Amino acid sequence: MKTFAKYLLCMALMLVLPVSVQAAKGYCMVCEGSYSYTLEYTEWTDEEHNIRHWCDNCGEDQYGGTLAEEHNIEHYSSRYDKCVDCGYRIDCEHVCDHDITYTEWDDCDWYEYCVECDELVDEGTEHGDYEYDDWEYYSSSRHRRYYYCENCGGDDGYDYGYHDEETEYYEYDEDQHEIVEYCAECDSYISEDYEDHDFSYGSWTNYSGSQHRRSVYCSDCGYSSYEYENHSLSYGAWTSNGSSQHQRTISCSCGYSTTETSSHTLTYGSWTNDSASQHKRTVSCSGCSYSTTEYASHSLTGGAWTNYSDTEHKRTVSCSGCSYSGTEYADHSITTGDWTSISNTEHSRTGSCSCGYSGTETEEHDLTYGDWEASNESEHSREVSCECGYESIETVPHNDADEDGDCDDCGYLTSRFSVTVPAYLLLTVSEHGVVYAAADAEIINHSTAAVEVTSLTVTAENGWNIVPYDADMADEKVDSMLIGFKLNNAKTETYGQFEQLSVSDWQIASNDSLPLIYSANVSAVSEPIEEQVLTLVFVLDWAA
């Protein structure tokens, strides 16, 4: 049986960006000391804005409004541009007609933006279907349920309805039941009252050997009970009921019926011979019509046993209770010796009986087997023994009928599939587009036989797209996120998100390795990045 394994190969481009940190404290000219402040930019002139350091101690500007810098103007919309620090606005020279728009949703609120300038063109709210909670009790005449938009939870409130009352009866005690007005929609009880049961009675039926009973039932609430009285009995005549007793019937008008039994009052005749094993006599009862013949085994007195055959001996016997006399046969009562081995397949022992008989018994060995243990790469063996003292060693070839790589008998490993593949491959791209790869990547085969890479699949990740490895990146836009990839003699040939590369002659002998020589052709980027760009899936199999 062949074993397949898939391994994930991740590639990453590394990015490190500087971070500027503003001071959290400064010297306050008002407080004449160093205190924490809150930074704020305020408009001043068409060219500059003030930088305010509001002191957390006195609340005044630590620099008395003397710090200023030029506006940091960036394009904001088709109507105006503004300073990203203080918010100062100037008219935008760019005019957008908002011909093409796109819509974004926030729960049930929608916002329409211009594709060209990203300005908000229109907005509104459009609720979806409504969800309703279960009805709940509100008053003696009405119930209510809460509703809300299933998308955003808004536009909510209560919906009201009148109770749909039903009358229900419940057991209360043996004399009364409870009357309840109930609304099934809101699962609520509206009112309750009590009244006496309306009983009906069943027929008397048998309950026990001494009593009968009848049912008492209320049709309104379902309450039920029983009423009890003693049986009124009548008796039949005694009749025979076997060799030891006679019987009569006892009954009641409720349907109760049973049988009373009593032992026979017996008289016995004399024993007479009936056969070689028994004698008989007449037995009768004075209280009923019972009469039968009783049989019993002879009370034998025997002579000495003498040998009769290989299996039996015999003696003369007579009965002291009648006139019987005859010959009795019985199996030998054999006393046996210990088993001794006589061949690779049989053992024997001597048996004798007190009547004088003697003989020899031969049987096949009753073998006990030890556990199989591997002897070498091709065979295993086990101990074979018998209680008679016979011992031997059985040796047979390994057997792997289920093709799982282990011997079915001794567990010896006949085939092992074990391959190590790198968890990830690292690519470093310089600011000039030069790609650097690791030089020591390899697939290592620890299996008991040669393996091969049968399939290599490449999938683009995190917004990247696959292009042919030999593609010319000179005319591609910066940050177009294109990558061509090559590993040994396999390289990308198409455009898209997924490609299965053509691999050939990627075999690895047992305890050998396959070097992974890889490279990439990456489009230019405006800033360094650190992220996974490709996922590689290897499929490995036993070499053909």
- Indicate if 157 and 45 belong to the same structural domain: no
The reply to whether 510 and 448 lie within a common domain is: yes
Shared domain for 86 and 134, answered yes or no, is: no
Same domain, yes or no: 433 and 489: yes
> Are residues 429 and 520 located together in one domain of the fold?
yes
> How many angstroms separate the CA atoms of 159 and 146, rounded?
6
Q: Which of 105, 139, 162 is the last residue of a domain?
A: 162
Q: For residues 433 and 534, state if they share a domain.
A: yes
Boundaries of domain holding 442:
417-542
Per-residue pLDDT at 78: 63
Instruction: From first to last of the 544 residues of the chain, give the pLDDT tens digit.
Output: 333 333 333 332 222 222 223 447 889 988 999 999 999 998 889 899 999 999 999 989 988 888 899 999 887 766 778 899 898 888 776 666 778 888 888 888 889 888 877 788 888 888 878 888 899 988 888 899 998 888 887 878 888 888 888 888 888 888 899 898 889 889 888 888 898 998 899 899 999 989 999 999 998 888 999 989 999 999 888 889 888 899 999 999 998 999 989 999 888 888 888 888 899 998 889 888 898 988 999 888 888 898 888 889 999 888 888 888 888 889 999 888 889 999 989 999 998 998 888 888 899 999 999 999 988 877 899 999 999 989 999 999 988 888 777 888 888 877 778 899 988 888 887 666 677 888 889 999 998 789 999 999 999 999 999 999 999 988 889 889 999 999 999 999 999 999 999 998 899 998 999 999 999 999 888 888 788 899 999 999 988 8
Question: What gap in Å lies between CA 327 and CA 338, rounded to an integer?
Answer: 34
Count of domains forming the chain: 3
Residue-level pLDDT at 95: 65
**Predicted local distance difference test score (pLDDT) of residue 8:** 32
What pLDDT, on a 0 to 100 scale, did the predictor assign at position 505? 87
Looking at the structure, tell me whether residues 511 and 459 fall in a common domain: yes
Q: What is the pLDDT of residue 349?
A: 92
Q: Is residue 501 part of a domain?
A: yes
Which among 7, 1, 2, 4 is positioned nearest to 441, based on CA atoms? 7
Phi, psi at 293, each rounded to 5°:
-110, 130
Specify the pLDDT at position 213: 94
Q: Are strands 5-13 and 424-429 parallel, antiparallel or unpaired?
A: parallel
pLDDT of residue 264: 92
For 8-27, the DSSP string reads EEEEEE----------SEEE
Cα separations in angstroms, 101 against 105, 108, 109, 124, 438: 14, 19, 16, 15, 47
Whether residue 156 is found in the same domain as residue 48: no
The SS3 call for residue 59 is coil
